[in-house]
A and B are shown apart, each in its own frame.
Chain A
Amino acid sequence: MIAAYLVLLIPLFGMAFFSLAGHRADSGLLNIRLNAVNLVATVWLAINVLREGTILSSGKAFLIDPFNVYLIVLTAFVGLTTAIFSAPYMEHEKEIGRLNDARLKLYHAMYQGFMLSMYLVLMTNNMGILWVAMEGATLATVLLVSLYRTPESVEAAWKYFILCGVGIAQALFGTILLYYAAEQVGSLENALLWSVLYENADKLNPEVLEIAFVFLLIGYGTKIGLVPLHNWLPDAHSEGPTPMSAVLSGLLLNDALYAVVRNKMLVDGASHSDMAGFLMMGFGLLSFLVGALFLHRQKDIKRLFSYSSIEHMGMMTFAFGIGGPLATFAALLHMTVHSLTKSAIFVTVGHASQLAGTQSMEKIRGLIKTQPEIGWGLLIGTVSIAGFPPFGVFTSEFLVLLATMHSYPWLAPLLLLGIGIAFAGLFRHIQPIVYGDKPEGQQPIKANLWPVMIHLGLVLWLGLAIPGFLADWFSQATILISGSAPL
């Protein structure tokens, strides 16, 4: 349990330190160190969970089970590699005069604040606190989206603030209905705790829970970026600083989906109907197809990849909606590989746009000729996210397809079509960017591509062979969510 408290206290300390001490020359380094220490703490926590099974803290305030512990480790890992990338990136932004000390102080403090709220979302056992932490994540990132203070970034941040704020208010209404259903049962202590609700799910009123789930799905779905509530996502990703895009895509969307799945487990327990699953499948499939189609129309490289995030989140929502053990396993794997790949891609995209001095895809050209490691990084990342073998994304998409063929065969062609459209959309934009002729005077920049290599290496490894302990881990989580083992 000490490990769990450490995971929360370190970013809290970091946030307090950065906001009190102001920006220093070594802030970037300190940010890396804090995240590194936290990665160690989360791994310690994960080992505890693997040895002893589910941990429930003494006041029942925190619940750590196989489902959230792997997301906690993933959060810490992506947090660390993004911090490694952000240190030289932010230095460069300061050199070219887009940022000053005060903004960098805000950036580092809010980076830690964002990490804190992500850990809190994953670890808390209280559905109300889950909501508070999710809203906290919005508040922490809204100032980061407007960090450059351009009219566009202010507009993107305002949209993000209003749409996510209003959207997530629906989720609180859903949570209140959940609490109301629990109070109807009577004699339940701490009726807002997930563990208590889950144990008594069969006693809860199914009708109230089904109404609640609609609100919860719409609320947290705004954060996942489900179509038609996705409007804030491409704007926030394209106008905010690139490290922010990496953590937004890699972590925030996952955590929102986590919240929906937790609630689905309650509703399924109460209602014994597939209503929650069907809703998720519908929204998921719509997001998947719309995301894939919109890839073709993009002009801005960060918008392109944010639509790719919408597409993949749609696929995961769809897979969790199908709900069998195979689909759940595939969705869990897809969450992992998508986070790793997407944050790696945003890191290379950040370097590529610094190199070209623009985010417009028409003007970024000749990456391989100017600086091969960035060009290849972007190309391999794109190959991976498009779902080519032998990368992990291929494995998880293949498993989702398999599960679809098994349960709803008539939906499989739609999935294949979406994957094809997305593939075409990504490559028609990326091909000239990496292979094209280099514009005159384009100079290589100082870039740190270790995070990219490590992330893509892991995705490749997951595609070739999932290590035994991880497969075991996913299986335990799958049993928890869907009730039976995948294999």
Chain B
Amino acid sequence: MNIEQLDFYTQAVLSLAALVGLTSFLMLGQGRVLRLIFVFAVQGLLLALTTAVAAYSMNIHHLYISAALTLILKVIFIPWMLRRLVLQMDMHRDVEALKNNSAVMLGGASLMVFSYYILHPIVQTSSLVMLNALAVSLSVMLLGMLLMISHRQAVAHVVGFMSIENGLFFAAVVATHGMPMVVELGVAFDVLIAAVLFGIFFFHIRTSIDSLDVDKLNRLSEVEK
């Protein structure tokens, strides 16, 4: 595949996919909460840009709405809300020392390879561009999960959760030119409610364990202590 011979849309999607993947890795290695939220907003912006490019090149008007939704929700509202909560709870000074940072990064890299491996059968049915786009979105989802596993703070969990949603939106836009409008609206609505609920939960967790370190959420277990 020679990238110079591809049309504008394909080139743009491939570059944006690479950048979206990169932001996932940046989030994975980030120990400071506020920077984590910032990188998450950047990923949202890239996603909105991808959607807009797809809408422009293929002349699908409803994708503009979906791009606008992403911009409002993922770039402005959720990062703003998380940032405000973090400052309010005076959490921004907690720098999380990541244990085994290099192992986590290597794990992330293998997850990306794994995504390509899983989706390889699709190559026979479609172009390499599609494989790249789908594999990157799957790896954004898996990296989001790894982020949730490797970080201890509740805020990092929320960012991981939302970045999984980013991966899903990326797949929907690039592979299928966007889901039907009613589904996109429904999913966006779910994400919005989830974000608000997360905000409520921060306060509950804070009052119940006096911190937002989810490692301390360990009262329930299979065996009575």
A427 close to chain B: CB less than 8 A: no
Pairwise interchain contact A166-B197, C-beta atoms closer than 8 A: no
Contact with A along B143-163 (1 / 0, CB 8 A): 011001000001001000100
Indicate the member of B124, B141, B200 with the most A CB atoms within 10 Å. Answer: B141
Pairwise interchain contact B121-A139, C-beta atoms closer than 8 A: no
B86 close to chain A: CB less than 8 A: no
- Kindly list chain A residues whose C-beta atoms are within 8 Å of the C-beta of B148: 162, 166
- Kindly list chain A residues whose C-beta atoms are within 8 Å of the C-beta of B204: 146, 149, 154, 157
A149 to B125, CA, bound (A): 51
Write the nearest CB–CB distance from A363 to chain B, whole angstroms.
Answer: 13
B209 close to chain A: CB less than 8 A: yes
Give 6 nearest A-B pairs by CB, closest first. Answer: A128-B183, A132-B186, A151-B208, A207-B121, A155-B217, A154-B204
A407 to B220, CA, bound (A): 41
Write the nearest CB–CB distance from A39 to chain B, whole angstroms.
Answer: 27
The answer to whether A176 and B179 touch (CB under 8 A), given A162-B148, A166-B148, A208-B125, is: yes
- Kindly list chain A residues whose C-beta atoms are within 8 Å of the C-beta of B138: 173
Contact with B along A151-187 (1 / 0, CB 8 A): 1101111110110011001101100110110011000
- Kindly list chain B residues whose C-beta atoms are within 8 Å of the C-beta of A159: 217, 220
Write the nearest CB–CB distance from A461 to chain B, whole angstroms.
Answer: 37
Contact with A along B168-209 (1 / 0, CB 8 A): 100110011101101100110110011001101100110011
What are 23 A-B residue pairs whose CB atoms fall within 8 Å in the complex? A129-B186, A131-B187, A132-B186, A132-B189, A135-B190, A136-B190, A154-B204, A155-B219, A156-B220, A157-B204, A162-B157, A166-B148, A166-B164, A169-B165, A172-B168, A172-B187, A176-B171, A176-B172, A205-B125, A208-B121, A208-B125, A235-B220, A299-B224
A297 close to chain B: CB less than 8 A: yes
Write the nearest CB–CB distance from A15 to chain B, whole angstroms.
Answer: 13
Pairwise interchain contact B220-A129, C-beta atoms closer than 8 A: no
Pairwise interchain contact B183-A129, C-beta atoms closer than 8 A: yes
| Chain B residue at minimal CB-CB distance from A150 | B208
B128 close to chain A: CB less than 8 A: no
B60 close to chain A: CB less than 8 A: no
Chain B residues engaging chain A, CB cutoff 8 angstroms = 118-119, 121-122, 124-126, 134, 137-138, 141, 144-145, 148, 154, 157, 161, 164-165, 167-168, 171-172, 175-177, 179-180, 182-183, 186-187, 189-190, 193-194, 197-198, 200-201, 204-205, 208-209, 214, 217-220, 222-224
Pairwise interchain contact B122-A139, C-beta atoms closer than 8 A: no
A152 to B205, CA, bound (A): 10
A156 to B187, CA, bound (A): 24
Interchain CB contact (< 8 A) of B164 among A126, A158, A169: A169
Write the nearest CB–CB distance from A374 to chain B, whole angstroms.
Answer: 25
- Kindly list chain A residues whose C-beta atoms are within 8 Å of the C-beta of B219: 151-152, 155
Number of A interface residues in the complex (CB < 8 A)? 47
| Chain B residue at minimal CB-CB distance from A182 | B176
Contact with B along A208-220 (1 / 0, CB 8 A): 1001000000000
Pairwise interchain contact B124-A211, C-beta atoms closer than 8 A: no
Pairwise interchain contact A129-B182, C-beta atoms closer than 8 A: yes
A143 close to chain B: CB less than 8 A: yes
| Chain B residue at minimal CB-CB distance from A120 | B186
A192 to B141, CA, bound (A): 22
| Chain A residue at minimal CB-CB distance from B145 | A166
- Kindly list chain A residues whose C-beta atoms are within 8 Å of the C-beta of B186: 128-129, 132
- Kindly list chain A residues whose C-beta atoms are within 8 Å of the C-beta of B214: 158
- Kindly list chain B residues whose C-beta atoms are within 8 Å of the C-beta of A235: 220
A311 close to chain B: CB less than 8 A: no
Write the nearest CB–CB distance from B25 to chain A, whole angstroms.
Answer: 19
Write the nearest CB–CB distance from A442 to chain B, whole angstroms.
Answer: 23
A259 close to chain B: CB less than 8 A: no
Interchain CB contact (< 8 A) of A154 among B167, B189, B205: B205
A192 to B157, CA, bound (A): 31
Write the nearest CB–CB distance from B185 to chain A, whole angstroms.
Answer: 9
A184 to B130, CA, bound (A): 12
- Kindly list chain A residues whose C-beta atoms are within 8 Å of the C-beta of B189: 132
- Kindly list chain A residues whose C-beta atoms are within 8 Å of the C-beta of B171: 173, 176
| Chain B residue at minimal CB-CB distance from A157 | B201
Interchain CB contact (< 8 A) of B223 among A166, A173, A190, A297: A297
A122 to B183, CA, bound (A): 16
A149 to B201, CA, bound (A): 10
A308 to B200, CA, bound (A): 32
- Kindly list chain A residues whose C-beta atoms are within 8 Å of the C-beta of B121: 207-208, 211
- Kindly list chain B residues whose C-beta atoms are within 8 Å of the C-beta of A131: 183, 187
| Chain B residue at minimal CB-CB distance from A303 | B222
Pairwise interchain contact B122-A207, C-beta atoms closer than 8 A: yes
Pairwise interchain contact B168-A176, C-beta atoms closer than 8 A: yes
A8 to B84, CA, bound (A): 37
Beyond the given A132-B190, A157-B204, A166-B148, could you list 6 further A-B residue pairs with CB under 8 A, ordered by the A residue number?
A: A128-B183, A150-B208, A158-B201, A180-B176, A205-B125, A207-B124
